[in-house]
Chains A and B, each alone.
Chain A
């Protein structure tokens, strides 16, 4: 029973991945590349220590983005606004971090808290609009994304840009040494060789892991998480059970935004120590894909984030060797998401049928056959 359950749980993502490789191979053949060579090259390059470090660094914000989106998804809220939430949170947290001087751990904590508050206030607007004015969160968060980008542009030009900077690349003032997140090279190198090329294993992955664990414990162990989850499963039953639907919407949006606020911090605290115009975009949208692959489950999201992170890190080799355009990776990522969604649906139906059968067998009562059929099946 358990063995079969694990097998079924794994069957979907594995077959989704295999299917995506198949499709992408077809694309590679279409552009005149031998797919086996290309995959082999990507694999060997991808297993180098430096690529794996890069994978972790790229997966960290993707994971946080996936969690932020998943919090909404778990109660059927589609927070498309993670994109705008993390951008504005990163800008304001970077500025706030540069403006204060505190001892190291407090300084970092301060920046993290600012980012979470800004992210959650920004997504809270969408939650507020939904419960008071009935504005669908997809509409409001798309609009809020546009507002966030406009606000970032405005704030950068007016108040937050470093006045001493003379280059054309607007940037905020740098965060002092005390506000920078340490890297994990020291720890990693005690187990492996030295990391070449000046690469650093970003320390923020620890925060990401903690966020994942907290997310899981919140959903499964707290009353508030239970209310959020059951609202997603059946909003009518949840309301009748005493869940306040409006409060739950607002709470979910605030939590989602708070995690969204963390997405930009690996870059701000670990890499750039400032917000500038080259700040990474698109992580919020990628988070939607990662959450879909991960079925909104913290472990699944980790798999999705690592897969995307690895593909991003290993792909450039294709360009360098002239095998294929690196965009093949975007195709691969897209197909992974689509086939994952399909595969999960198929697997979930198979599981339902299986469970209905198991239950019917385990509870078989020969006297009341006609009425003992599972309700999910064709009604009598």
Chain B
């Protein structure tokens, strides 16, 4: 059967690079497969952030993840920002570059938030055109990540998963599927998260994000300040069943624990992947946890993993 994948290599299991962990990483050189770096944090001239980033990028594969491209904005694309992104990319040679399918600024004012777009044909065309320009400028495909949202627009004429799929198809870009964001939006908008997974083209899914959130009962907020909860692990298992092995990382932006705690949480992700996709050759290439797995696997719980597939494969 021909390999119809569009996506690139499977990197294994990674973590978001956070300043709190710089020293630990350089000192202990943990066997994390890769790190995701927040692009905007390193668009500075020099100093500690750049020093640690460059030292870590020399030892680990890295990917760049941005929050300010504002790909859905009706402002012109910020070419100075894209140039800075390209310069950083030349410096640290990331495996790929991602941002969010949202808008953040208009008339030059930045909300510093990932604001939702109306899901319409007009928006599909607008965003896809801008993604094509960015990809031409960067000379590579970019990844678009689904965001958590708390409102829906009256104007929307399609579901979020159709919107994301149409933009990715039209722009020929890749997808960073945030499993937690799907869960959060599903709770806030009352859809079945498995319907979301079912509609996304597996050939375009390059990366998964896992994270925690704050559950207020009637609504859920994407806060990245908790451990990955059971509900997100379950959805992760369903995503693995649908998409196979996909480069996976855990995002933690607040209430950040010590590095070993995140390492342990990432082991849980690998363990779930191994149980869901037994004897998978790509998964076997991940060296994460091999140094410490023997000692640690006794502590890994498996109660988040369903014995039955979470959903039937398409």
On whether the two chains bind one another, the answer is: no
Q: Give B residues with C-beta under 8 Å from A.
A: none
Q: Give A residues with C-beta under 8 Å from B.
A: none
